[in-house]
Structure 1
């Protein structure tokens, strides 16, 4: 991953760290194209960004946790790059199964946007993992990714840690979606269990809100900025909820407070 040393996060605004998580935007090269349920995914992402700004929720940084583009088209990444540069805060992007990680590294590195895999601020460390398996829907954490995770945790025992990846590392109760989670989640948790400073794990991919806890670690699934899938469904099924995103507040003592927001975005006349 490319390192951008000029990306600076202000450490004097608050004792808290405010993080926005957006995920699964499924952007298309054609600005007028539609996906599920007659939804324009660029329009839904703009609705989310507008809601964030209207609510005054722009914080210290934003994480976009994969499936940025539906078909990994360069035009979709360039469009996102322009939108991110309008925000005025650091934005960290990690890949999903619909993305091209190499293309992301080429395009989504500049100004305030980065595909870096780790950032440290105040007494927190954020780790961004690549769980993508080329041309497959499920996730897998390679030996290289697990080694990077282990080294990053071992080198920062004094830092509270929040980990982001694209694929869910736990079953969500939807058989069709659970088949597309991280297939070596046991290896992932074996590393996490060695390090008590890990406070949370957050992901996308499932297009639904999810929140549970495992051995004191919060496990957080976040809604998509386009459409949601019905939780607990046996087969693919669209939910009626609109575009969404997650807001996280990282406290100095290691606690994580979080809330999910949903946005109204009626489809345009066609």
Structure 2
């Protein structure tokens, strides 16, 4: 594989963990249905998966960070399950505000696909949080989720940690989207700030790429596998970029290398 531009590749790649993050697929039950009038979200996800395989980026595991289904329909989750099983690598799914977490637990726990909230590999621990508030677009981490985060970090002080959730815990500079972020981000960061092994946080929901740093922790927003939202927009506005996904290399020393890919894909 050609070295990724602007990335430092680990000298010993076998000791790194290679993670794919896909998010906000908004799959529909009807395979021929369109979202936002001109986008077939199943086809756009297939285009992303094909691009991943063509680039030889399947890696060690995949994380799907919410809004898997547009209307939380069982057919959408079953279709995703078939796609993920065909990939062969471990796939971890967490819910978004369009999802039904209970239904996800029922369907997306088979073979290599899981809704388990935590995985430890090599020098890393990955934590998957549920920030869903039923029937609301904004996010909130319940006391149970915050306690789980705290306990998971306290139990493995020896492991670098990366946290995934659906809702952005920081403002992105887009007023309509920022109103739908994580409403108790202060509680979230209060826990993270106690643990120096936390290295990165990634989310979906915003349908756009974002990258900043807070107290040495990488903060990463990732694009949707369907449509993107225009960054910095005052109101809902679609961007011209195609479907996308994030590629992460978690290095053994706790450093993180990452790149976002976009896929050429016709709307129809």
Deviation at 1:36, TM superposition (A): 1.8
Please name the residue that 2:141 is paired with.
141
Q: 1: distance between equivalents of 2:127 and 2:197? A: 13
2:5 alignment partner in structure 1? none
- Deviations 1:139-172 (CA, angstroms, capped at 9, x unpaired): 0000000000000000000100000000000000
Distance 1:13 1:52 in 2: 18
Which residue in 1 is equivalent to 2:173? 173
Counterparts of 1:1-270 in structure 2 under 5 Å?
Answer: 14-268=14-268
Query: What is the deviation of 1:267?
Result: 2.2
Deviation of 1:247 after TM superposition, in Å, equals 0.1
Equivalents in 1 of 2:92, 2:192: separation in Å?
22
What is the SS of the residue equivalent to 1:86?
helix
1:38 alignment partner, SS class: coil
How far apart in 2 are the matches of 1:233 and 1:41?
23
TM-score (ref. length: structure 1): 0.94
Partner Cα distance (2:180, 2:193) in 1:
23
Report SS of the residue matched to 2:211. strand
Query: Which whole-Å CA distance do the structure 2 matches of 1:75 and 1:25 have between them?
Result: 14
Where do 5+ consecutive residues of structure 2 fail to align?
A: 1-11
Unmatched segments (≥5 aa) in structure 1: 1-11
CA distance in 2, matches of 1:68, 1:179: 21
SS at match of 2:116: coil
1: CA distance between counterparts of 2:229 and 2:168? 14
The match for 2:6 is: none
State the SS of the aligned residue for 2:188.
helix
Distance 1:80 1:225 in 2: 13
Separation of aligned partners in 2, 1:246 and 1:118: 19
Deviation >6 Å, runs of 4+: none
TM-score, structure 2 length as denominator?
A: 0.95
CA RMSD of aligned residues (A): 0.9
2:7 is matched with: none
Structure 2 Cα separation of the partners of residues 70 and 267 of structure 1: 17
The alignment of Structure 1 onto Structure 2 pairs a total of residues equal to 257
Instruction: Give me the whole-angstrom Cα distance separating, in 1, the residues matched to 2:59 and 2:138.
Output: 31
Secondary structure in 1 matching 2:14: coil
Residue 13 of structure 1: how far off its partner (Å): 7.6
| Local SS of the residue matching 1:36 | coil
Deviations 1:226-270 (A, max 9, x none): 0000001111000000000000000000000000000011022xx
Distance 1:241 1:174 in 2: 17
Which deviations, in whole Å up to 9, do the C-alpha atoms of 1:188-218 show, x marking residues without a partner?
A: 0000000000000000000000000000000
1:127 counterpart SS class = strand
| In 1, Cα distance between equivalents of 2:72 and 2:202 | 22
CA distance in 1 between counterparts of 2:107 and 2:23 reads 18
